[in-house]
Chain A
Amino acid sequence: MRLFPRGSALLQALVVTVLGAALGVGLDLFLPRGVLRQAPAVMRDLEFLLPVYLWQPDAAAKALADGRVVLVDGRTREEFEAGHPAGARHIAHDREEDLSEDLVTELSGSHVVVLLGENDFEEARLFARDLAADIGTERVGTLDGGFEAWQRAGLATEALP
């Protein structure tokens, strides 16, 4: 049994790659939903695609205590009132109204870490990017495991009366 491929296998791999790539480009140009024909718009999307960082609850709690991040709880008002990480702000992720100017000014440029429910990976990421665009920051993150992970880590919580 040879561990490394023979020359002919490498040539085959090259053929598969080139034919596959040609098929991809051809299909993309042929299909109405192809991206190559709208390349400038897609590249703009890529340029504005902010990296979202994943924060573990302990690290987020420490950064919050040091004033290095703003923790935003994006769950519903009822869930927030029932219990949330101590020091977290509430901005519902499914809000319909724009953020107030005061809030935008206050949060502008901050490093924002958002949290939602435990399994809301996609929503949290989208919320983080939307919030970043709304308040004008390029530093955003999500809390790994949401509020449930925060509670499991035994970190401070508070509820509203």
Chain B
Amino acid sequence: MRRLLLLPRVALALTLLAAGALKGLDPHGSVISVGAYHLLPVQLALFLGVILPAIEVFAGAALLVGFLVRGASLVAAGLAGVFAFGVTTAMVRGLDLDCGCFGSLSITPRAGFGTLAFDLALVLLAFLSYHSTGATRPRRG
């Protein structure tokens, strides 16, 4: 049962590591992906395009090795929530863009309902991962 509770955490960790690493391999593409949403000033889009992949990798690695699990789960939920917000606004504005979730190796070729469902699934995984730490911690006394 305890191992079963680790599954969401491991799945989330691997997803974040893959997403961050693939984006990190193409930093220019990562910045352009953020800019394509046309939500932020260019300076902020540039900065976010640089730090987002690294935050994903760091949070993914933390989840995988069991370091700062609750914090990393919160960060994962926050990132997925922000991505879901970006995709929703793009859909509302009728923008045609690549979600940029996995760099140039996108699972979904276009930001849309599929991407939104994926982001919401990540929020759910983050929620389960956050609460898995309490369940797997040995009880005192």
Q: Which residues of A contact B (CB under 8 A)?
A: 1, 5-6, 8-17, 19-21, 23-25, 27-28, 31, 33-36, 39, 42-43, 45-47, 49, 51-55, 119, 121-122, 124-125, 141-142, 144
Is B66 interfacial (CB 8 A cutoff)? no
Q: Which of A20, A54, A144 contacts B51 (CB 8 A)?
A: A20
- Chain A residues lying within 8 Å of B100, measured Cβ to Cβ, are none
* A125 in contact with B96 (CB, 8 Å): yes
* B28 in contact with A43 (CB, 8 Å): no
Q: How far is the CA of A119 from the CA of B58 in the complex (A)?
A: 34
**Among residues 32 to 76 in chain B, which have CB atoms less than 8 Å away from a CB atom of chain A?**
32, 35-36, 38, 42-43, 45-46, 49-59, 62, 68, 70-72, 74-75
* A42 in contact with B53 (CB, 8 Å): no
Is B78 interfacial (CB 8 A cutoff)? yes
CB distance from A67 to the nearest CB of B (A): 20
A33 with B45, Cβ < 8 A, contacts A13-B71, A24-B51 known? no
Question: What 17 new A-B contacts, CB under 8 Å, besides A10-B74, A11-B71?
Answer: A12-B72, A12-B74, A17-B55, A20-B54, A20-B57, A21-B51, A23-B57, A24-B54, A28-B27, A35-B50, A46-B31, A46-B46, A47-B42, A49-B32, A52-B96, A53-B93, A55-B94
A-B pairs with beta carbons under 8 Å apart, 9 shown: A10-B74, A13-B75, A19-B58, A23-B57, A24-B24, A46-B42, A51-B36, A51-B93, A52-B96
CB distance from B79 to the nearest CB of A (A): 9
A-B contact count (CB 8 A): 131
* B109 in contact with A35 (CB, 8 Å): no
Q: How many residues of B contact A (CB 8 A)?
A: 42
Q: How far is the CA of A10 from the CA of B109 in the complex (A)?
A: 34
Q: Which of B46, B57, B71 contacts A9 (CB 8 A)?
A: B71
- Chain A residues lying within 8 Å of B53, measured Cβ to Cβ, are 24
- Chain B residues lying within 8 Å of A144, measured Cβ to Cβ, are 96
- Chain A residues lying within 8 Å of B109, measured Cβ to Cβ, are 119, 121-122
Is B102 interfacial (CB 8 A cutoff)? no
- Chain A residues lying within 8 Å of B93, measured Cβ to Cβ, are 51, 53
